[in-house]
Structure 1
Amino acid sequence: MRFKLTIASLLILGSLSMAQAATFTFTGNTFTNPDGRFNRPEENGMMLSSLGSNVPYKVFGFSVTSPGSYTFVLQSLEPVVYDPFLVLYASSFNPSSPLSNFVVANDDLAGDTTRSGFTQTLSTGVNYFLVVTGKIGDGMSLFEDSGAFQTTITGPGTIVPVPEPATMILLGTGLVGVGAALRRRHNG
């Protein structure tokens, strides 16, 4: 009886440790280091926002190592707490076409105007783009929503950052330059 109880306990503990979620956290600032500005979509993804017509944003590209349900939580940080807005895109994100590839968005998480978030089922083999922005933006007001933030993604797999296309171009250009220098060195 004691032996059976021990094996059952080990099986339960083993399954609990395998079920633990991976967590990935990143921070940034849409005010001091924006990727640009865009007209963000409404939460339903059906139309563009009239309040967020020119909001600064920050993009984080990633993929996942395991399919399943992932939870995203965006928190605006001190000293200036703003009303953040979170949008998820699949395959690609184009700020000039913000309704394309839209998956899900959220403004206020559980009525909290300093947090946004959602839970979404993700698949392996897909690049996702998480866009951190604000609810209100017009490019002229001191009251637009932008500032420091922290975003946490929790789910069954590992979050793998995907470099932005511009980063890949720079890396490729650098590698070509190194190759040319080595070739000159070898031939000269």
Structure 2
Amino acid sequence: MSGLVALAQSPQYFTATLVNGAPTFQRPNIGTPPSGLSIYSPVYHVFSFTAPVSGLYTFEANSPSIDNFGILYQNSFNPLSPLSNALRSDDGSSGNPGDNYYIARNLTAGTTYVLVSTSFYTGEYGSYQVKIEGPFTTPLPVEMASFQANLNEQAQVDLHWTTQTEKNCSYYMIQRSLDGKNFTDLARLNTKAVNGNSDQPLEYVFTINNPKRLTSTAFYNLTLTDIVHPALFYA
């Protein structure tokens, strides 16, 4: 599952959970860039974003229960070809639960990057947080705390997201793509913020009832429409 992340204010934090039954891939070994594949096939999450400005960006994972492993890609990520477009892969040094990856890289403004967060071993599941730091300070009408897409026991897709604050927000549009590039609208959900404004965390849940029609990995976007401006902001 994937979300297109808007980098708003550094540092920015995103949380997710690696769950049993999620898509798997044969993860690369550590390297800059990685030159080979490991023997492990863990589940993974995908965070896609476009660098708003050029400069040094850092990506640091934190989890008390899993040994995090991260791979940064440029332009796109193909789980069937995990070495293609890979810039850097990293794992903590001990190989134990609670080990965190740390990736530092100079990125170019306007270029799309993909951060794949996974685990060192096959069969590791648990929650984690990623801290992203860089030279970006673009203000957005929403401060997003998390955005997750998980397959539930009824084979439905549950979308969960939490906002820390909202300002002049109108509604969210949920979108889906089969290639990570071309997205179609699925549903519209109005903001929970009174008059579009909130300085308290707000939680949203939306269930997609027909994911069985899909025969491959699906990518999900969440777009926000501002009351003041008709522009869309991605999270």
For normalisation by structure 1, the TM-score amounts to: 0.66
Q: CA deviation at 1:100?
A: 0.1
| 8 Å CA contact 2:20, 2:43 repeated in 1 | no
Cα offsets for 1:90-137 (capped at 9, x unmatched): 000000000000010111069885211121111112111100100011
Cα offsets for 1:148-170 (capped at 9, x unmatched): 01001000015899x87447533
Runs of 4+ aligned structure 1 residues displaced above 4 Å come to: 109-113, 158-161
Q: Which has the higher contact order (CA 8 A, sep 6+)?
A: 1
Q: CA deviation at 1:82?
A: 1.1
Q: CA deviation at 1:76?
A: 1.3
Cα offsets for 1:59-112 (capped at 9, x unmatched): 0000121100011101114xxx11110110000000000000001011106988
1:156 aligns with 2:135: yes
2:105 is matched with which residue?
120
- Amino acid in the other structure paired with 2:50: S
1:108 aligns with 2:92: yes
RMSD: 2.9
2:35 to 36, 46, 49: 46
Q: Structure 1 or 2: larger helix share?
A: 1
1:96 is matched with which residue?
80
Q: How far apart, CA to CA, are the structure 2 residues paired with 1:109 and 1:150? A: 18
| 8 Å CA contact 1:69, 1:122 repeated in 2 | yes
What's the secondary structure of 2:114's corresponding residue? strand
| 8 Å CA contact 1:84, 1:145 repeated in 2 | no
What's the secondary structure of 2:101's corresponding residue? strand
What's the secondary structure of 2:83's corresponding residue? coil
Q: Provide the identity percentage.
A: 30
Unpaired segments of 5 or more residues in structure 1? 1-20, 138-143, 176-188
| 8 Å CA contact 2:53, 2:110 repeated in 1 | no
Q: Name the larger-Rg structure.
A: 1
